[in-house]
């Protein structure tokens, strides 16, 4: 039985690789965390942050009631606060902060940046049918393309599926920041900064 499952798993791996070969809306370059951070300091980037670590016991049953959603765990809250401190210390210029209406995203945005604007179209697209989730992905891409980041960096706080659907990048794990460079309408995926890497980078810089 176990052998059977592992063969299926292998098949999915191959399928996954094939599907990631499709043309993505953004080009990709891999940069180290310190390169990413120094790039952010001069503005011109978009940061997509997946909400920080959550309490996996709870489930989302009501989008209008925080008590009936999967919320940030204590670890998640600490992660978000730490990221916020590092961004402030590094003096990374931040422009608009947009958040999904889910409480775990709003809390993440509040703890890191102390401000945010809710964008209903950032809501978790995995819960929607194919047509709607495609639309939400497309919305994210075009909003990023229209953002004016000549002086600073704009931030989107959201979930996994929207970014995967819209830009072909899967943000993992929770709390990860995905960095895109913006030149005109072109977005280039530069890399990701995991929650723990921010403070390491700060220590290196100091």
Partner 1 sequence: MLNRLSIQARFLVAPLVGVVLASLLYVVGFNTIRSHTDILKNLAATNLPQIGQLNQLTISLADLHNKISIVLLSAIEHGDEEIVYLQGRKQLNQLHELEKSFEAISSQHAWEEKQAKYLKDIPVAFASYRETVIHSIELSTVDSNRAIKELIEAERVLVRLNGELLTLSEHFIEEMANASSMIDATSSKNQWVNLFAVILLVTMIIISLYISRRLSKGLSSISHAMVKLAKGDLDVTLPNLSDTHLLEQQHALGTFRYVLLANRKHQIDLEHSFEQLQDSERRYQGILDVTATAIVVINYQQEIVLFNKAAEKVFGYQEKEMIGLPIHHLMPKGTHQKHDIYVDEFANSDIDYIPQMKRTPVRTLNKNGNELFLDISLSKIELAQEVLMVAAVTDVTARIYSARELNTYRNKLESMVEERTRQLKAATQTAESASRAKSDFLANMSHEIRTPMNAIIGMSYLALQTELNKKQHNYISKVHLSAENLLGIINDILDFSKIESGKLDIEIINFRLDDMLDNLISLVDIKVEEKGEELLLNVDSDVPTALIGDPLRLGQILTNLVSNALKFNSEEGIVRIEITLKESSNDSVLLHFLVNDTGIGMTDEEQQKLFQSFSQADSSTTRKYGGTGLGLAISKQLVEMMRGEIWVESEAGEGSTFHFTVPLQKQQGSGSSYSSMIASGQDDGSESIRKLHGAVILLAEDNLINQEIFLEVLNCNGIMVDVANNGQEALDLLEKKSFDCVMMDCQMPVMDGYSASRKIRQQERFKELPIIALTGNAMAGAREEVLAAGMNDHITKPINFNAMFNTMAKWIKPNSSSS
In the complex, the residues that contact partner 1 under the rule CB under 8 A are: 5-6, 8-9, 12-13, 15-16, 19, 56, 59-61, 70, 126-127, 129-130, 133, 160-161, 164, 170, 172-173
Residue 196 Cβ vs partner 1, minimum distance, rounded to whole Å = 16
- Dist. CA 65–CA 82, nearest whole Å: 27
Residue 125 Cβ vs partner 1, minimum distance, rounded to whole Å = 9
Dihedral over alpha carbons 72, 73, 79, 83 (to 10 degrees): 20
Which of 86/169 has CB closer to partner 1?
A: 169
Which of 63/90 has CB closer to partner 1?
A: 63
Residue 172 Cβ vs partner 1, minimum distance, rounded to whole Å = 5
Q: In whole angstroms, what separates CA 130 from the centre of its chain?
A: 21
Specify whether the CB–CB gap between 76 and 84 falls below 8 A.
no
Residue 146 Cβ vs partner 1, minimum distance, rounded to whole Å = 26
| H or E stretch at 192 | strand 186-193
What is the residue whose two structure tokens read 């460079």?
181
Which of 173/196 has CB closer to partner 1?
A: 173
- Dist. CA 166–CA 44, nearest whole Å: 20
Which of 129/206 has CB closer to partner 1?
A: 129
Which of 84/137 has CB closer to partner 1?
A: 137
Residue 143 Cβ vs partner 1, minimum distance, rounded to whole Å = 21
Residue 7 Cβ vs partner 1, minimum distance, rounded to whole Å = 9
Which of 104/152 has CB closer to partner 1?
A: 104
Structure tokens at 57: 């016991």
């Amino acid at each position: 039985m176990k052998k059977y499952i592992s063969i299926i798993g292998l098949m999915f791996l191959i399928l996954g690789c094939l599907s990631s070969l499709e043309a993505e809306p953004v080009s990709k370059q891999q940069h180290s965390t310190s390169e990413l951070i120094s790039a952010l300091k001069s503005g011109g980037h978009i940061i997509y942050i997946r909400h920080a670590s959550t309490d996996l016991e709870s489930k989302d049953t009501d989008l209008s009631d925080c008590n009936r959603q999967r919320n940030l765990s204590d670890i998640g809250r600490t992660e978000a606060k730490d990221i916020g401190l590092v961004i402030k210390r590094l003096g990374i210029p931040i422009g608009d902060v947009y958040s999904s209406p889910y409480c775990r995203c709003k809390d993440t945005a509040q703890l890191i940046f102390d401000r945010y604007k809710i964008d209903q179209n950032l809501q978790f697209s995995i819960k929607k049918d194919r047509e709607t989730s495609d639309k939400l992905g497309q919305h994210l891409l075009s909003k990023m393309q229209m953002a004016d980041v000549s002086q600073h960096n704009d931030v989107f706080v959201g979930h996994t599926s929207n970014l995967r659907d819209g830009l072909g990048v899967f943000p993992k794990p929770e709390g990860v920041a995905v960095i895109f460079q913006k030149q005109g309408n072109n977005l280039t995926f530069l890399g990701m900064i995991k929650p723990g890497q921010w403070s390491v980078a700060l220590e290196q810089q100091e």
